Structures are given as C-alpha cells and as structure tokens.
Amino acid sequence: MNFLKTKLFFFIGFIAVAAIFTGCVKGDFDEPPINIPTVDFEANTTIAQLKASYTGVLDSISDDIIIKGVVVANDESGNLYKQMVIQDETGGIMLLIDKSYLYTEYKLGQRIYVKCKGMYLGDYNKLIQLGYIYNNAIGRLPEVMVEDHIFRDSLPGKVPAPVNIDLAHNNSAYINMLVRIENVHFLEVGVPFAPQGVSATNRTIADASGKELIVRTSQYANFASMLTPAGYGHLQGILTIYQTTYQLLIRDTADIIGFSGATPPPPSGDFVYPNPDIPAVSSLEENFDEITNQTDISIPGWTNEATTGNRKWQGKIYQTEYYAQATSYNSTDAENVTWLVTPPVIYSNNLILNFKSAMAYYKHDGLSVWILTNYTANPETATWTQINATLANSASGDNNWVSSGDIPLSNYVPANYTGNIYIGFRYEGTQTNTTTYRIDEVKINTTGGGGGGGGTITPVSEVHEMFDNVQNDVDINIEGWLNLAQEGTRFWRGKIFNTEKYAQATSYKTLDNQNICWLITPPVMYEGGKILNFKSAKAYWVHDGLSVLISTDFNGSNLTTATWTPINATLAGQANADHEWISSGNISISNYVPQGFTGNFYIAFKYIGDAINTTTFRIDEVNIGPAK
C-alpha cells in the first residue's frame, strides 16, 4: 500500500512540475533567451574618421573614441596571424591582437565595437593599423587588454558584399576592405601560392588590359601549397598596401572563383555586332512611343537580338507609358541573353548618355549597359566596354524609374577617338533569375538631361500619414512614399488591430540573414522650417532596431550613397510596455539641415533585424508641418 502511495505521489508530483513548466511557455514570441553578446554604448567615430586622424606618426589615442565594424577577415586560414580586419560603411582597418585563434571568437560577420582610448594608431609601410606600441612601432594589443577594448555585439551576421574594383583606378578608399577583382589571370601559373621556407610570397595577377596587382600569401596559410590556377577568373580578399604598391590578401580558397579558358570571357553569351550599313546619327532620343505592346521591338536603326534563348526586348504599354522591357519570367529557355543596341552615333568628346530604368519582381541583377567602339564591320577589331551606370536594383522598389544620370562617354572610349559608338542594353536571365527590367527615354547628345519623368515624385509642403488605407499583412504601397528592402525580403507592412491601422516592420521568423527595410516619405519642401512628429510602438523586445533619419541629397534612387543623418527622436524601447504608443515629440527639422537650406528633404524610418534580433516596431501618425 505504501509502495502504491509512493507511486501515486510521484505521478502527481510529475504532473505538477510538468504543468508548471508548461505554464511558463508563452508561445513563439517568448522562447528561452539565447546568450547574445551585447554592448550598452554606441560608436561615436567612423573608421574613415579614425584613419583620417592619423598624422603619419605612431601615437596613443587619448580621446574617448569608439568605432564599430563587421569582421571581414580573421586568422582562420592562417593567411593572417593575430590580426583581423573590420569595416563599416566608410572604410576598413586592421586590428593587431596578441591572441591566437581569433576566429573562434570573432567570426566573419561578427559586429564588434572597439574602445580606442589607450590603444595606438600607426602604420606598417603605409598600411594604417590599430594596436599597441611595441619597440617604438605599431604592434599587437596585449591579450590581457583585449577585454577592455574589443566587444562583440550580437551574433555573427551577414558579411558585407565585396566592393568591385578596377585595377586601372585609384583604389585607396578601399584599403583594408573586402574587394573583388573580376576577369583576371595569374602571371605565374602552376606554382604554389607560398612555398615553404619563405615567410610570405608575392604572386601577380593582371586584368585584360595588363593592369597588375600583387597577391600576397603567408607560408602558414592552409592553402599555401595550392598551385596558382590557369585561365581567367575572379579574386576576392582584403586590399592592403605596402608603401605605394597595392596587395591582395586572400582569406581562403573560397575567394578564388572560376579560372578557366585562355581569354577573359564576356559576361555570358556572345556580344552583338549590328549591321555596319546602318546610317550614323549625330544625336539620339528614343522614348519608344511607336512600339507595339508585347511585341518584339523593331525600330529603324536599332538592333534587337537574342544571343541565347528566344526572348528579345519587347515593347510594353502601361496606361499612357511606353517603354522597352526584357524578362525571363515564364521562359522555357534555360538561359536568356538579349541585346537592344542603338544606331551608330558619331562620336564627339562631349557626348553624354542618359536614360532611365526600372525593375519589377526582383530576383537578380540582370541589366547592364555597354558601349561599342572601333566597329567598322569587323568584330575582331571592335571593343565592347561596360558602362558604370546607375540602374534600377533591389533597393529601387518595383516599377520605380531610376535615372542613369548624365554619363560622359569620353570615359569609355580611347583618347582621340574619331569613329562611331553604339550603346547596348544587355539583359541576362534564367528560369530562376527572372527579374523584369525596363528602359526608357534614351538620349545621346551634348547636353544630357534624359532619364526623367516616370516615377518622379512631386515634392509636398506637408505630410499627414495615418496609414488609414493600408491592408493587413500587405507590403505598404502609398503614393509618393518609398518602401525599400535594402537587405533580405522583408518590407514595411500594413497592420490592422481592432480599428487601429499602422505600419510595422519585424524580423520575427525571418529566413533572411539580415533584414534592412526603409519607409521613406515623399520629398518635403523645407520652406524655412518644418516640424516632425510621429508615434512608435514595439513588441517582444530583443534589440533596438528602429531609427529615424533625414536626407537632403537623396534623389529617390541613391539609397546607399545619399547622406542620411540620424534624428534624435524619442522611440519605443525596452523600458516601454509592449504595444504602448510613444510620442516622438516635436522635432525641428532646422536642427538637421544646413544653415540657409532651401531645398527638399526626406524622412526615413529604417528597420534592421535578423533571425536573432526580432523586435517588432510600429509607426503611426507621421506629421510634417510648418514650424510654429
């Protein structure tokens, strides 16, 4: 009987404990916390500003300078030793740390903060580095001091994309940053990257024009014995400098991409060479007003050719707007490459190209722009050169026209050139890379000024947005506003709770490495002064993911290159209750624009999150009106 009682009491106790633990579970939003490193301070200096303060003489840092950056290179492969490289939006810097196996703590993509006071800023043969003094030169920060200066924040995230550089250009702005060089080959083929017995070895790569770059590898790199490949390919790594010579440090073998074939490949498919008998023109303006909807474009003097697959550029009409469009959406071809090429234009050294582009249903960057020179019926003597144009991309938003800006064609032709030029719009897609691209208002002349219209937004005097017309759980689309996903696939969405409507951004249950989304007002006329106020709320706090910014040089498409200044607004935070609306207070725009400013400004609500940093943020009742 006592044995049965014991079993009964044990069973009841087990049920009670289970009930207690079950009662503690509040659903997916309150799962057990993960030990995430965090800091409780902010950076006050950019990496570029820190480097600019270097006088050329080793010196200790006496000011309370704090920088932050993301780890883009560490010592995991052995090509760096007791070093790691961090970068922010402004630049990169190498940290010297007297500690082994840094990669176990500072993984690629790890955001870190560095309290620089007490550290030393110096250079090794012109490469600026941050560390400590050693024998009156820049050396490593002692391991016992690391915990006082270097702080991890959050879990490792996405590594910044490498910057594409051209060996013909001055690349000093990208020193100690992750870069990519395309279509290069090794001058020494089939030799080890770094033979043993020599501390480090230089190998040389060159691009198609013969411009060279040193690739430097330590004998301790885990790929040191790997043989340099033949053919052409792409290299990634950290750009450094030794005196006046640029060098590339490969992080691991994943930075060695492609390398096949005896000559540099075109992007994909074949280049197009138009009929040489087409009469040349002195200038060009094409608005596609004569096209037929959903029909392959056929304009006198223009060449529309599919080099891979069957898709060509087609005319499209939407309401009263006419334009050219290319897409692989619903294509039965494995790959599509199609060119739309202008008639020949008689070259003069003051010719300017201008056009506008738009995209929809982003999957990939499929549009590029090229110029053809030295073509007189013989493709063997002709040269296609890619033009660096501002194009619609993932940050532009669907159906928003983006101006290319005025492009001087003299930047892309040989000196003293006297022949004709052609401009080619090249689309490339597959059954999975299906972004739709559009072009319109193509102008080649000596005055520029094309590419306008379309998605141009008229400036407003005031903004009063209550989000009353949003749809629940649908990406926000309000006339004049921009809703952009800079990273990931999440946008600001409309939300409706009871009778309340508002805008919401969150990374909860995201599948993306990171989410960065922007909700941007129409351009607002400053007109001597304006006041901003709004309200915000948060739910299920994990991180501070909402910021409010202002720009006076944003043009509707230059999201990442415009100057965005943070606004000191009162925002919902950790101390506030979930769903509690917090007023921003009245914010004077005059505090954030230059003295005497008379132009337009934009206000942006920016959300940043990831699979760990999942706080939900909401905004409502956005008002911008005259200063009282």
Asked if the model's pLDDT at residue 30 lies above 60, the reply is no
The first and second tokens of residue 374, run together, are: 């030295």
In three-state secondary structure terms, 24 is helix
Q: How many residues does the chain have?
A: 628
Asked if the model's pLDDT at residue 12 lies above 80, the reply is no
DSSP structural state of residue 155: S
| Res 388: pLDDT | 81
> Which percentage of the chain shows pLDDT scores above 70?
91
Mean pLDDT of the chain: 88
Distance CA 505, CA 283 (A): 47
Asked if the model's pLDDT at residue 48 lies above 50, the reply is yes
DSSP symbols for 283-327 = -EEE--TT--TTEE---TT-EEEEEESS---EEEEETTEEEEEE-
Distance CA 208, CA 189 (A): 16
Instruction: Please report the beta strands in 7-103, taking only residues with DSSP state E, as ranges in sequence order.
Output: 59-60, 66-73, 83-87, 92-98
pLDDT in tens, 67-77: 999 999 999 99
Asked if the model's pLDDT at residue 19 lies above 80, the reply is no
| Res 261: pLDDT | 62
The first and second tokens of residue 216, run together, are: 């430097």
Radius of gyration of the chain (CA): 28
> Which percentage of the chain shows pLDDT scores above 90?
66
| Res 595: pLDDT | 84
Phi, psi of 129 (to 5 degrees): -135, 155
Mean pLDDT score, 484-508? 91
pLDDT range class, residue 319, cuts 50, 70, 90: confident
Q: Give the other-Cβ count within 10 Å of 124's Cβ.
A: 16
Considering only CA atoms, which of 163, 174, 161 is closest in space to residue 239?
174
| Res 23: pLDDT | 42
Mean pLDDT score, 480-497? 90
H or E stretch including 11? helix 2-24
pLDDT in tens, 591-621: 999 888 888 999 999 999 998 999 999 999 9
| Res 264: pLDDT | 62
pLDDT in tens, 559-582: 887 899 999 999 999 999 999 999
pLDDT in tens, 343-380: 999 998 889 999 999 999 888 889 999 999 999 888 88
| Res 443: pLDDT | 94
- Cβ contacts of 586 within 8 Å, gap of 6 or more: 531, 532, 533
- Cβ contacts of 24 within 8 Å, gap of 6 or more: none
| Res 381: pLDDT | 82
Q: Which domains does the chain have, with CATH numbers?
A: 47-153 (2.40.50), 163-260 (2.40.50.140), 284-445 (2.60.120.200), 463-626 (2.60.120.200)
The first and second tokens of residue 186, run together, are: 């090794």
pLDDT range class, residue 15, cuts 50, 70, 90: very low
The first and second tokens of residue 182, run together, are: 């395309």
pTM of the full structure: 0.47
pLDDT in tens, 91-137: 999 999 999 999 999 999 999 999 999 999 999 999 999 999 999 99
Return the minimum-mean-pLDDT range out of 176-180, 226-230, 525-529: 525-529
The first and second tokens of residue 505, run together, are: 């951004």
pLDDT in tens, 412-448: 888 888 899 999 999 999 998 899 999 999 999 887 6
| Res 383: pLDDT | 85
| Res 449: pLDDT | 57
| Res 285: pLDDT | 92
- Which has more confidence, 611 or 43? 43
Return the minimum-mean-pLDDT range out of 334-338, 369-373, 390-394, 548-552: 390-394
In three-state secondary structure terms, 206 is strand
Asked if the model's pLDDT at residue 221 lies above 90, the reply is yes
DSSP symbols for 56-79 = SS-EE--S--EEEEEEEE-SSSSS
pLDDT range class, residue 266, cuts 50, 70, 90: low
